[in-house]
Amino acid sequence: MSWTEDLATLKARTRDVQDLGHTLAVLNWDQEVLMPPKGGPARGRMIGVISRLMHERIADQKVASLLASVESSGKLKPGSDDAAFVRLTRRFHEHAVRVPTELVAEMAENDSRSQQAWVQARPANDFSLVEPLLARSVELRRRVSEYFPEHAHPLDTHIDASDEGMTVAILRGLFRQLRYELVPLVQAVTAKPAPDDSFLNRKFPKAKQLAFSNKVLARLGYDFEAGRLDESAHPFTTTLGAGDKRITTRVHADEHDVLYSLMSTIHEFGHGTYEQNIKEEYDGTPMFAGASSGVHESQSRLWENVVGRSRGFWSYWYPRLQRTFGKALKDVDLEMFLRAINKVETSLIRTEADELTYNLHIIIRFDLECQLMEGSLAVKDLPEAWHARYQSDLGQRAPDDRNGVMQDVHWYGGYWGVFHSYTLGNILSAQFYAAALQQQPELAAQLAVAKTGGLHRWMKKHIYQHGAKYTPAELVQRVTGGPLSIAPYIAYLREKYGELYAL
């Protein structure tokens, strides 16, 4: 067989794997949005079967020989789509074959038990219910890392799976600088009188919240012919196939706080529009996805925070929001509203944190995660280590573990090495935004009147269309002309909060 025939066979194989992945997405979307509760056990089985088929298709010995044939041909042009295709397929194949199937199965089972235990343990405020399962989860992840001896730190294996090329060593350096800059800024802002945001607790009828979200999505450029907005307990974005990239949002049961649903919607818009704008010819290949978790999160944060909490955006949307909700916002002017939606306060809960303190929550989690994986922190000592770090970094101590170490599902659900990507996304959102404004200065005047089309086209051209073709580091270099840097993010925060809080 010629190498071109082998390449074609390999592409047919990755198309199958992608179709199976999208089938899983259909099952998961339905489970989160529509499925009645009694459908759970059967759905779990169906998801298990498809996951296994997917793993078999990519781990198959046939894939190894096809890859070897194409790689050894010497015919792949560096920088071409085919070269990226082979690099990514090799990466997924290696991940699938290096870790023994029994270990993968044991992790899946432990994760499922541990997540269910967390659902009980959190409201009961009883860490002992999850402790042995969490300890096992750490142990199993440390074993996985042993199959990747090229990684310097045991957490690197798990970080690399979501952010290729990123390491504990790089993140430690970035986070140290970031903390050095953020702590005095948070102190300066919180020393000022806190803005009044009590009006957000008023009632905003749900149907109107959703209708408003849909209007904002349409104007931002979400393609409703290739997606839809639904409700789920935890908002998410998912690809059910080419031409079907859906997002979800959530609304408080008592209908208070219109921003809770709207900002979630705009966040998911960032993820969804990224996926909707990947080149169609990448369908069926591993390039048909975002470049990494961090780059994906840069787009949700860009649209949610950099654009969605800006004066320019609300100068257009606020009068419309006021008209939609009648007397709920009648006595609140644009200035009050802007200060309220950008209120900064140190708090105990990550998901409720503002733009400025959010990263401090992430740095705590990242440091503890490193210690757990190194073995320098035992799971039994984790709750107290958590409290100690919140005391020293945010000046607060949670009254219990429910509001401490048990607040996030991630570790209990088996998601290790992912917290960092939220902060990476924040950093990159500002770096990409600064690059866009530098290359196209006219965008500033457009954004000042909420005309976001130009910025969206820029992101599509430089980031979205390429999918996962470039590694995250290559993409950042191509888009911004330099490596990952916190400088634009710090400059953005200083300017924004300096103005809002008259620093």
- SS3 per residue for 289-333: CCCCHHHHHHHHHHHHHHHCCCHHHHHHHHHHHHHHHHHHHCCCC
Residues binding Zn ion: number (CB under 5 A): 1
The residues facing 248 across adjacent strands are: 230
Would you say 145 or 264 has its CB closer to Zn ion?
Answer: 264
Would you say 57 or 296 has its CB closer to Zn ion?
Answer: 296
CA-closest candidate to residue 263, choices 221, 223, 324, 306? 306
What torsion, rounded to 10 degrees, do the Cα atoms 60, 64, 69, 73 define?
A: 140
Would you say 209 or 238 has its CB closer to Zn ion?
Answer: 238
Would you say 99 or 166 has its CB closer to Zn ion?
Answer: 166
Would you say 390 or 419 has its CB closer to Zn ion?
Answer: 419
Least CB distance from residue 235 to Zn ion, whole Å?
8
Distance CA 390, CA 383 (A): 11
- φ/ψ of 191, rounded to 5, equals -75, -15
Least CB distance from residue 250 to Zn ion, whole Å?
13
Contacts of 38 (CB under 8 A, 6+ apart): none
Distance CA 356, CA 182 (A): 7
Least CB distance from residue 422 to Zn ion, whole Å?
7
Catalytic residue positions? Answer: 268
Q: Which of residues 76-105 bind Zn ion (CB under 5 A)?
A: none
CA-closest candidate to residue 305, choices 121, 97, 492, 123? 492
Least CB distance from residue 341 to Zn ion, whole Å?
18
Q: What's the maximum distance between 2 C-alpha atoms anywhere in the chain?
A: 74
Site map (CB under 5 A) of Zn ion, residues 121-160, x = contact: ----------------------------------------
213 binds Zn ion (CB under 5 A): no
Least CB distance from residue 270 to Zn ion, whole Å?
7
Would you say 301 or 389 has its CB closer to Zn ion?
Answer: 301
CB 127 within 8 A of CB 383: yes
Residue nearest to Zn ion (CB): 300
* Edge-to-edge strand ranges of the sheet holding 244-249: 229-231, 244-249, 237-241
Site map (CB under 5 A) of Zn ion, residues 292-321, x = contact: --------x---------------------
Distance CA 273, CA 217 (A): 10
Least CB distance from residue 304 to Zn ion, whole Å?
8
Indicate the pairing of strand 244-249 with strand 229-231.
parallel
CB 114 within 8 A of CB 130: yes
Least CB distance from residue 297 to Zn ion, whole Å?
5
Chain residues that interact with Zn ion, rule: CB under 5 A? 300
